[in-house]
Structure 1
Amino acid sequence: MVQELHTYDYVVVGGGISGVVVASRLHESLPSASIALIEAGKDESEFELAKYTKYIAAVRGSSIDYSYDTVPQLHMDGTRKKAWAGRALSGGGAINVGAWMRGPAVDYERWAKLADDDSWTFDKLLPFFRKSETFLKDNPDPVLHGTQGPMDVQLMKDIRRGKCYPLAEPLKQAWLEVDPSLPWNEDINNGYPLGMGDCASTLIGGERQFPHQKFPLDGVKIFTKSIVARVLLRRDPSSPLPVAVGVELVDGQKIHANKEVIICAGAFNSPKILLLSGIGPALEIHQHGIPVEVDLPEVGKGFRDDIVMRVAWRLRHPERGLSLGSPALTDPDLVNNLPLDFFVWTQCPMDEVRKALEKDGIVDQEHELLHPKVVHQENYIMWMAGRSDALLAKLGLSNDGKFMCTSTYNLHPTSVGSITLSSADPLAPPVIDPNYYATETDRVIWRDALRKQMRVLLDTPSGKSFVVEEAPPPGYPQLTLDSSDREIDRRVGAFGETGSHPSGSCAMGKVVDSRLRVKGVRGLRVVDASIFPGPIATHIQAGVYVVAEKGADMIAADAKPRALSAEKL
């Protein structure tokens, strides 16, 4: 049977946040260009688990999640961890928690340095941050915030119409009793989030905003349930570099690109597609019987993800309606939205970080983790015993209003992992190895973050007024102020999980250049979180949008000179 021939100017692989933004913006900037958007999943915007905030835990592991497993993690008791990735139009935007945080400016300054391109600094990225958002707040700062973008963004306290959970103020006071200098940050998206601050979110009114519905895709040809097997490359005698001319799907169908192929498949699958196409470490590709097209050693090799661990705490007066599940907590603005009030971003003592870096063999007084504006850690409380049924089952608890849950992150991991192929079969999952908790620096920063949270709850008058004790899972000692490093590490090994911020597997400066062009290939770019050249100490949704906005702008800018030249002919 003869396959139908599909040819477009631009072929975008991956219909997640990045792919949707790139396809939409390219059509806006280049209205005469033909654009195809290829997605392995389908439109799941009416899928109840994805649509409503109250089901946010259940959507992970559902039919619209790849629900990958990592390899056994050597430094986490040899356990496998889940690796979530959206398999639907909107991708991660269909399963994430909606946090809209840009992170510290200093992290983007490091991006610019690694890319040797100051257009990646925080200040230079502000126009692209603004472009995606409509910030729903009276008189927002026009330098920092957009008011005409596709995505509605709102502070969580405003989403709840100004209401706070009953223990919000005592919790804030408890943090100040531990550190009186901890500032309240009125705008955590100003590039300097250290301190306490209200989270901004795209989950508004109890419902998710799906990027593929918010960014116009009229005029874009969308292929759903279409899995890309490889990028098609052509060798041109007039050029030493191969040219990307399209993609082949697993059913053998080919979709050709006159101008560019743009991979937006995320930190797990973008490197996988490159490797399947013969682009990556030559030895690894050859081992799977794939012809080597471009020997690019760093494909898949800069992968990072952070760890979160959730800990349940027994409340002192549950009858007062302090947590979800309590019959006394009935206000729909509190019950139907994410049950948290504010976040706390902190630093580990710099002397401890410096000593840990030295143990890891790093002696660098200018290391990014020693910068005075760096963010190492994040803590927040969810007013529920646990976010998922799986976690509650492991803890032996239920959301009955008697417990609350802390979430602790090391947002700036130094442990580096990899994404590799399991086989030459494009339907096989990639081999995901985050190499969690592998460095002394990560362990020191993470333990300090948890101990800060324990001091807040167990060693302050305000904390002790509403918390009795930790509710340990069966078979584990209770976490206390006297818990040893070994006890903490054992708990992290068993209960630490992905922070769902995977990045770096096609890093800028190593795999792509600062215009996101794959090195050694013409007409091929990667535009998603895989190009992050280093971590940003935050939840990465806003960072993914800014990469996509800037990437689309660069692609359009590179196309226009060619178009003008053609017009002159």
Structure 2
Amino acid sequence: MGPVSNLYDYIIVGGGVSGVVIASRLRSALPNAHILVLEAGKDESDFEPARYVKNIASVRGSEIDYSFDTVPQRHLDGRPKKAWAGRALSGGGAINVGAWLRGPAVDFDHWAELLQDDSWAFSSLLPYFCKSETFISKDLDPNLHGSDGPMEIKLNKDIRHGKWYPLCEQLKGAWQESDPSLKWNPDVNSGDPLGMGDWPTTFTRAERQFPHKAYNLEGVEVQTNSLVKRVIIERAEPIGEPKATGVEMADGRVICSRKEVIVCGGTYNSPKVLLLSGVGPASQLGKHGITVRVDLSAVGQGLCDDMTMRQVWRLRHPERGLSFGSPLMTDRDLVSNVPVDFFIWTQAPHDLIREAFAKDGITDSHLFNPHAVHQEMYTMWMAGRSAALLAQLGLSNDGSLICTSAYNMYPLSRGSVSLGSADPTVPPLIDPNYYAAEADRVIFRDALRKQMRALLATESGKSFVAAEVPPPGFASISHESSDEEIDQRVRVFAETGSHPCGTCAMGRVVDTRLRVKGVKGLRVVDASVFASPIATHHQAAVYAVAEKGASMIAADWEEGA
């Protein structure tokens, strides 16, 4: 190890959303504190693909994305899948699609129940959701939304100055014809998102808001291109509790902390950092020659990630300028934003889930709550975002195609993140264990069938969709296809929904104040601490957890904890 380079009160490992929020809020609450943020990636503010909506697809797999590969997925086609993760200041906030969705209140209330701590219930987290945002909308209840937070949020229709895409009403009609109980939800962030609703976004001017720009980091030292090898954990006395005293960098430097080391590496990298630091299952650490500081078996376990699959559809009347790529679609408000009008959130039939639970041996009744969300679907008025993927499929955004996406938003399959090596430059072994649970298969098939039924079995849907365009070598599928026919497609073309969580979960790895069990001065704050899944896109929830985490850390400083 090299000489001590510096001394700080707080060292934050990871400059993603959580790291930025915590650094900014601690600096504000504790102006005399010395705070350091260590980010393995770079400052991507001038990286053109990251800035604009039109470039979203090209960010993934780029220099600011870890672009991990999972281990082969045995319940799919036996091949690895991609696992995206931001490698830059702002982290996932630099590569996501901007959706600002809180998710169902009952999911957070489930946390409170599991943890026996009401401070993690939705009503208790609401002030932290609000603290992070300035929600600009005249149509929403101001008591449920923030008005002076760093992140500016708008409904997608407001960004488009009230305009909808040409087929919006027909699509809405198709869904309501397929399921008359489906209603328009005026505020999907109220805590009850079920139904159809416009989606709030951080791309308020067709340009990304980077959290490290939105949050004030003045007075915070930020070091980019700085890979942490491990947290240094020492035991002051033979019988004393181990304490985090700093970090060792990959280049050998040692940086010390007076108060805390706060790990904000995300669902994949936070458990990796703990494991490299000697906190985790003793058997795994021993295999890599790592000294065990705390034998904590749950580190890296419990990974859950939603799955999605896209389908492409040929329009019945492409000559009318209904999709991206058509020379007739020229309205700047439409072509400069993500071409989605609304999202649909639904539940799968409870009897199907009960049968699946019996096979899986699952007894959790949470999914039977009438306000729980199981599925998400949406239609995009283009063939797809990735030109490379479209080329592989022999397609293009020529104005004749649209695509749909379906998600299993509350996965029951559980996987893991483990070490590939004691070398910090080696990626972790990521196993989401996709499609392992029968409940996931039942819920995902049902979501796909709902999507296909709306387009193929309703008069409204048939008025604008001619047929599915299957991938080369595959037959078309429909709502009438068998489970096996649908699964044949899913096994090959399903991919990450990019909402992984749970690898340093509250109650198992950290306590409800996000302190790592068995180690003083060490916390984890990011989606890895989620006690159970949140059936939504995670961005807004990560901000809220980070806001709450910063508040707790500052309070502990004041109390001398």
The one-letter code sitting in structure 1 at the alignment partner of 2:426 is A
Matched residues in 1 for 2:452 and 2:327: separation? 28
Question: Partner residue of 2:221?
Answer: 221
Structure 2 contact 103–535 (Cα < 8 Å) conserved: yes
**Cα shift at 1:277:** 0.4
Question: Partner residue of 2:93?
Answer: 93
The one-letter code sitting in structure 2 at the alignment partner of 1:65 is D
Which runs of structure 2 are paired with 1:354-365 in the superposition (5 Å)? 354-362=354-362, 364=363
Report SS of the residue matched to 1:302. strand
**Cα shift at 1:450:** 0.4
Question: Partner residue of 1:538?
Answer: 536
Q: Deviations over 1:417-436 (max 9, x none)?
A: 00000011010000000000
Matched residues in 1 for 2:496 and 2:392: separation? 16
The answer on 1:368 being equivalent to 2:366 is yes
**Cα shift at 1:141:** 2.2
Pick closer, same or farther for the CA change 1:520–1:2 going to 2, 3 Å: closer
Aligned counterpart for 2:493 among listed residues 478, 492, 495: 495
Structure 1 residue ranges without an equivalent (≥5): 564-569
Structure 1 contact 153–200 (Cα < 8 Å) conserved: yes
The one-letter code sitting in structure 2 at the alignment partner of 1:258 is R
Matched residues in 1 for 2:225 and 2:338: separation? 31
**Cα shift at 1:190:** 0.3
Structure 1 contact 182–195 (Cα < 8 Å) conserved: yes
Matched residues in 2 for 1:149 and 1:521: separation? 33
Structure 2 contact 2–252 (Cα < 8 Å) conserved: no
Question: Partner residue of 1:447?
Answer: 445
Q: Deviations over 1:418-465 (max 9, x none)?
A: 000001101000000000011110000000000001110000000000
Report SS of the residue matched to 2:391. helix
Matched residues in 1 for 2:256 and 2:392: separation? 49
The one-letter code sitting in structure 2 at the alignment partner of 1:291 is T
Aligned counterpart for 1:386 among listed residues 381, 384, 387: 384
Question: Partner residue of 1:566?
Answer: none
**Cα shift at 1:139:** 6.6
Structure 1 contact 116–514 (Cα < 8 Å) conserved: no
Structure 2 contact 4–255 (Cα < 8 Å) conserved: no
Question: Partner residue of 1:507?
Answer: 505
Matched residues in 2 for 1:297 and 1:2: separation? 31
Report SS of the residue matched to 2:123. helix
Question: Partner residue of 2:60?
Answer: 60
Structure 2 residue ranges without an equivalent (≥5): none
Question: Partner residue of 1:338?
Answer: 338
**Cα shift at 1:271:** 0.1
Matched residues in 2 for 1:139 and 1:303: separation? 37
**Cα shift at 1:140:** 4.2
Structure 2 contact 134–146 (Cα < 8 Å) conserved: yes
Q: Deviations over 1:183-228 (max 9, x none)?
A: 1110000000000000000011110000000000001011110000
The one-letter code sitting in structure 2 at the alignment partner of 1:500 is S
TM-score, length of structure 2 as denominator length: 0.99
Structure 1 contact 233–244 (Cα < 8 Å) conserved: yes
Matched residues in 2 for 1:256 and 1:425: separation? 21
Structure 1 contact 152–202 (Cα < 8 Å) conserved: yes
**Cα shift at 1:395:** 2.5
Question: Partner residue of 1:407?
Answer: 405
Matched residues in 1 for 2:167 and 2:2: separation? 66
Structure 2 contact 501–530 (Cα < 8 Å) conserved: yes
Aligned counterpart for 2:483 among listed residues 471, 475, 485: 485
Matched residues in 2 for 1:114 and 1:515: separation? 15
Question: Partner residue of 1:430?
Answer: 428
Question: Partner residue of 2:516?
Answer: 518
The one-letter code sitting in structure 1 at the alignment partner of 2:27 is H
Which runs of structure 2 are paired with 1:111-260 in the superposition (5 Å)? 111-138=111-138, 140-237=140-237, 240-260=240-260
Structure 2 contact 450–479 (Cα < 8 Å) conserved: no
Aligned counterpart for 1:469 among listed residues 467, 471, 474: 467
Question: Partner residue of 2:20?
Answer: 20
The one-letter code sitting in structure 2 at the alignment partner of 1:535 is P
Q: Deviations over 1:485-509 (max 9, x none)?
A: 1111111111111100010000000
Matched residues in 2 for 1:4 and 1:228: separation? 14
Q: CA RMSD in A?
A: 1.2
The one-letter code sitting in structure 1 at the alignment partner of 2:557 is A
Structure 1 contact 79–493 (Cα < 8 Å) conserved: no
Question: Partner residue of 1:102?
Answer: 102
TM-score, length of structure 1 as denominator length: 0.97
**Cα shift at 1:4:** 5.5
Structure 2 contact 2–253 (Cα < 8 Å) conserved: no
**Cα shift at 1:142:** 3.0
Matched residues in 2 for 1:72 and 1:340: separation? 32
Matched residues in 1 for 2:303 and 2:493: separation? 21
Q: Deviations over 1:82-130 (max 9, x none)?
A: 0001111000000000000000001001111222211000000010000
Report SS of the residue matched to 1:493. helix
**Cα shift at 1:482:** 2.6
Matched residues in 1 for 2:18 and 2:450: separation? 36
The one-letter code sitting in structure 2 at the alignment partner of 1:531 is V
**Cα shift at 1:61:** 0.4
Matched residues in 2 for 1:119 and 1:383: separation? 41
Structure 2 contact 449–479 (Cα < 8 Å) conserved: yes
Matched residues in 1 for 2:218 and 2:47: separation? 22
Q: Deviations over 1:489-548 (max 9, x none)?
A: 111111111100010000000000000000010000000000001110000000110110
After the TM superposition, which segments of 4 or more aligned residues of structure 1 sit over 6 Å from their partners? none
The one-letter code sitting in structure 1 at the alignment partner of 2:518 is G
Report SS of the residue matched to 1:76. coil
Matched residues in 2 for 1:121 and 1:557: separation? 20
Matched residues in 2 for 1:124 and 1:43: separation? 34
**Cα shift at 1:238:** 7.3
Pick closer, same or farther for the CA change 1:251–1:458 going to 2, 3 Å: same
**Cα shift at 1:479:** 1.2
The one-letter code sitting in structure 2 at the alignment partner of 1:112 is A
Question: Partner residue of 1:39?
Answer: 39
The answer on 1:349 being equivalent to 2:349 is yes
Structure 2 contact 14–40 (Cα < 8 Å) conserved: yes
Q: Number of matched residues?
A: 561
**Cα shift at 1:331:** 0.7
Matched residues in 2 for 1:119 and 1:4: separation? 39
Matched residues in 2 for 1:109 and 1:240: separation? 36
Pick closer, same or farther for the CA change 1:231–1:2 going to 2, 3 Å: closer
**Cα shift at 1:181:** 1.5
The one-letter code sitting in structure 2 at the alignment partner of 1:13 is V
The answer on 1:560 being equivalent to 2:541 is no
**Cα shift at 1:239:** 5.4
Structure 1 contact 507–530 (Cα < 8 Å) conserved: yes
The one-letter code sitting in structure 1 at the alignment partner of 2:322 is L
Q: Deviations over 1:339-377 (max 9, x none)?
A: 100000001011111111111122x3x611111111000
Structure 2 contact 510–517 (Cα < 8 Å) conserved: yes
The one-letter code sitting in structure 1 at the alignment partner of 2:492 is A
